[in-house]
Chains A and B, each alone.
Chain A
Amino acid sequence: MRIGTSLALVDLDRQLPNRNQRECLYWWDELFEWIAAAGFSYIELPYQPKWDFGGRSGIPLSMRSIAVKDGDVAGFLTRLRGHGLAGISAVHLDPSLFFSSQLDRYFGAFEHFAMEALELAALSGAGTLTLTATPCVGDLRAAWPDSFLERTAALFSRMQAAAAPRNVRICLRNECWGLLAGEAAIPFLEGLHPEIRLDLDTAHLQISGVESAGFLRSHASRIGIVHLTDTRHRMTPGEEPGWIPEHPRSAATSMFRDVGTGDVDLVDFVDAMKETGFDGDVILDSRHAADVCRALLRMRRFALRHFEPLLAKPQESAGTAIDGRHAADALVAPATPSRKEA
């Protein structure tokens, strides 16, 4: 079992003060230091190729970004280790970005970028590639062919065939706003290759009306990886998710809360993990945290109570000095001093 935290912690979609920092390599170097200082050795990487299209390679969430800034995955891992992290335990791709009424284009893009994400998972030694199974249900109403889930299943099968020889497990994520929310994922999963497992996300289950500890006790053999996430939200009956599903239409709210600040019974869930002998990877995930450092410390507090032997001791890292890897930076003066110099 490896304890990690997800880079989904970082909200890149909202223009809140100081968001501009998050497009710069230096900020991610600092984040990696903070994550290590919070006691986490591993990260989950949300695979987000959309940043490729604006040349935002400072955001290390795609193979292109890694190639531009670090040369290759090995270079990226070296960089992570230089900041006190051991590596990447999981990669997650959500294909909702590609969704439109042109389903051939959706499935084509889904598989193309899933293969990129698989490449990253395989080369980095991440044991798991999680794929979000379906976009938001609200999106699908406009383009709802009966074949949608059949095509999704076929794609998962192809990904499984590609992943298995590379020692990567394919997991399915069933968000609360998708077609396979809650218990609906199980019959779909049973129709897939037996090595494909579920990525159990505690908050998504609870929002779907399913108690996550009980779900784990019932389906432990089908769970490949666990996301400990938190929420205070419940879907109201008949509520239709909006296009930005984590911001429900019913009222302005943030669907996800920092781990330990919602009302998911994560203590019972951890007990369920022990009872069932679950020993897969665990990701503590404070998605789109309002305050990244606060969220990391909250997750550390939770992890200290439940996973202390598995937490890393904060290590001396190589520091955050920019080493001039970006050729253009070196040619313009004055340079911004590194944190060590400042």
Chain B
Amino acid sequence: MENIRLSHMNHWKTIPYRTTPNFRDYFYEERSNLAYYSDWDRILRYHAATGYDGIEVAPWDLREMMALFGSPQAFSDFAAERGVAVSGMFHGAEGSHDPARREEVIAAGREAVDQIVAFGGRHMNMCPASNYYGVGPLSREAVATAADTISEIGRYATDHGVQIGLHNEFFCAINRENHHEFIALTDPRHVFYCLDTAQVALIGENILEFYERYHERICTLHLKDTAEAALPDAVRYAQDVEIRDDGHRWFWEPGEGTLDLEGLWRLMKKHAFKGWVTVETDGTPDLLASMALSSYHVKQVLGKIYR
């Protein structure tokens, strides 16, 4: 049994069909690759074929997924038939810093936990607050409010067998100046950490030091690489900075950037990490190619260190 199970964060957007029984006819409509990306049957087979045991569901796709499958359980069963399990779902805790929105944020968090349970997933990887632009800098009271709100959701999550993994992002209102304070204010019994390697590096953290410090709380990873680190405040705090006007990429497949992922894997071995690692390839021009490249790097390069 391997220590690391590989999952992939779903960025497939709208998939209009469950299966395509008329695949050849559909191909001949355009004679293009359109038919290859149009049904969940094939998408999930690509997961299995490229070495992924799991898929992390995206909440922005849920409406269409449920329209196709009817229920999270039906999707999970469909995926399981193709050798893929639902590892969890992403969630954004927009407004967590605002006392006036506490009940709303907690209700949304609980609903997301219920959805993850219905999928049979384990992880709720959560961006802990709103984007920095228009909200930051957060006062210490606001940081404490966010931590308290997230901890409340965390209690509900652990009661239902789900782990919240704080998934910080370089443009989040929880940022370099309050990142560690925020983590310290959350309840370690109920709030864990999903280390997004590129996001945390772009904030300005050293991912090896970060992992060493928080390894007991890091329950999972979003694994991706970057060619930059420690972006200046003016960049991290800018509006809509996740997508650059000129197409510049923040994120790359593991091994295609400059992060010391091999060092990270040595630490994961040192601390006997066990569980899901989700590859996330947002911003890629070719999701299938990125899935394959990433899986190869994890299994054939990093896997020599720890698997």
Interface residues of A (CB under 8 A from B): 13-21, 23-27, 54-58, 68-69, 242-244, 247, 251-254, 290-291, 322, 325-329, 331-332, 335-336, 338
29 cross-chain CB contacts under 8 A: A15-B11, A17-B285, A18-B285, A18-B286, A20-B247, A20-B284, A24-B243, A24-B245, A24-B247, A25-B245, A26-B247, A68-B240, A243-B64, A243-B68, A244-B14, A252-B22, A252-B23, A252-B25, A252-B26, A254-B29, A326-B244, A326-B245, A328-B241, A331-B234, A332-B231, A332-B248, A336-B246, A336-B247, A338-B246
Number of A-B contacts (CB under 8 A): 129
CA gap between A272 and B137 in the complex, in Å:
61
For residue B78, CB closer than 8 A to chain A, the reply is no
Across the interface, name the chain B residue whose C-beta is closest to A54.
B60
Contacts of A328 in B (CB 8 A): 234-235, 238, 241, 244
Q: How far is the CA of A25 from the CA of B284 in the complex (A)?
A: 16
With an 8 Å Cβ cutoff, the count of chain B residues facing the other chain is 48
| Cross-chain contact B245 with A58 (CB below 8 angstroms) | yes
> Separation in Å of the B7 CB from the closest CB of chain A?
17
- The closest CB in chain A to the CB of B247 belongs to A24
Query: What is the interface of chain B mostly: helix, strand, loop, or mixed?
Result: loop
Q: Is B240 touching A252 in the complex (CB atoms < 8 A)?
A: no
B287 on the interface (CB 8 Å rule)?
A: yes
Residues of B within 8 A of A327 (CB): 234, 238
Chain A proximity of B78: nearest CB distance (Å): 16
Return the 6 tightest CB-CB contacts between A and B, nearest first.
A243-B67, A328-B238, A247-B16, A25-B245, A13-B14, A55-B240
Q: State which of B22, B33, B243 has its C-beta within 8 Å of the C-beta of A23.
A: B243
B35 CB-CB contact with A under 8 Å: yes
Question: Is B37 positioned at the interface, with any CB of A under 8 Å from its CB?
Answer: yes
CB distance from A137 to the nearest CB of B (A): 14
Give the chain A neighbours of B238 by CB distance below 8 A: 326-328
Report B-chain residues with C-beta under 8 Å of the C-beta of A243: 63-64, 67-68
Whole-angstrom distance between the alpha carbons of A335 and B246 in the complex?
A: 8
For B15-49 the 0/1 string (1 means CB < 8 A from A) is: 01100111101100110111101110000000000
Closest to A24 in B: B247
- Look across to chain A and name the residue whose beta carbon is closest to the beta carbon of B30: A290
**B228 part of interface (Cβ distance < 8 Å):** yes
How many Å lie between the Cα of A327 and that of B237 in the bound state?
Answer: 11
A residues in contact with B67, CB < 8 Å: 242-244
B71 part of interface (Cβ distance < 8 Å): no
For the complex, give the distance between the alpha carbons of A14 and B232 in Å. Answer: 33
CB neighbours of B246 from chain A (8 A): 24-26, 322, 329, 335-336, 338
The dominant DSSP class at the A interface is loop
CA distance A256 to B131 in the complex (A): 38
Instruction: Give chain B residues whose Cβ lies under 8 Å from the Cβ of A57.
Output: 239-240, 243
List chain B residues, Cβ under 8 A from A19.
Answer: 13, 285
Contacts of A14 in B (CB 8 A): 13-14, 16, 34, 37-38
Q: Which residues of B contact A247 (CB under 8 A)?
A: 16-17, 38
Chain A proximity of B52: nearest CB distance (Å): 16
Residues of B within 8 A of A68 (CB): 239-240
Q: Is the CB of A55 within 8 A of B247?
A: no
Return the chain A residue nearest B39 by Cβ. A252
**In the complex, which of the residues B38, B244, B283 has the most CB atoms of chain A within 10 Å of its own CB atom?**
B244
Q: Which residues of B contact A336 (CB under 8 A)?
A: 246-248
Candidate in A27, A243, A328 with the most chain B CB atoms within 10 angstroms: A328
**C-alpha spacing A212/B181, complex, angstroms:** 65
Residues of B within 8 A of A27 (CB): 247
- Beta-carbon contact of B33 and A55 below 8 Å: no
Instruction: List 13 additional contacts besides A14-B16, A24-B244, A335-B246; criterion CB under 8 Å.
Output: A13-B14, A14-B38, A16-B33, A16-B37, A21-B247, A24-B243, A25-B245, A57-B240, A252-B22, A252-B35, A322-B246, A329-B245, A329-B246
CA distance A18 to B37 in the complex (A): 13
- Bound-state CA distance A290–B34 (Å) is 7
How near does chain B come to A282, taking the closest CB pair, in angstroms? 26
Q: Which residues of A contact B234 (CB under 8 A)?
A: 327-328, 331
Which residues in B have their C-beta under 8 angstroms from that of A244? Answer: 14, 16, 64, 67
Q: Which residue of A lies closest to B13 (CB)?
A: A15
Q: What residues on B are CB-neighbors of A21 within 8 Å?
A: 247, 285
Which residue of chain B is the closest to A254 with respect to CB atoms?
B29
Contacting residues, chain B, for A332 (C-beta < 8 A): 228, 231, 235, 248
Closest chain A residue to B232, Cβ basis: A331
B244: chain A residues at CB < 8 Å are 24, 326, 328-329
Most buried by A among B234, B239, B240: B240
Q: How far is the CA of A220 from the CA of B172 in the complex (A)?
A: 53
Contacts of B26 in A (CB 8 A): 251-253
- A15 lies within 8 A of B34 (CB): no
Closest partner residue, chain B, to A249 (CB atom): B17
Structural contact, B240 and A13, CB atoms closer than 8 A: no
A291 pairs with B245, CB closer than 8 A: no
Complex Cα distance, B235 from A291, in Å, reads: 34
Judge if B12 is at the interface, Cβ distance under 8 Å.
yes
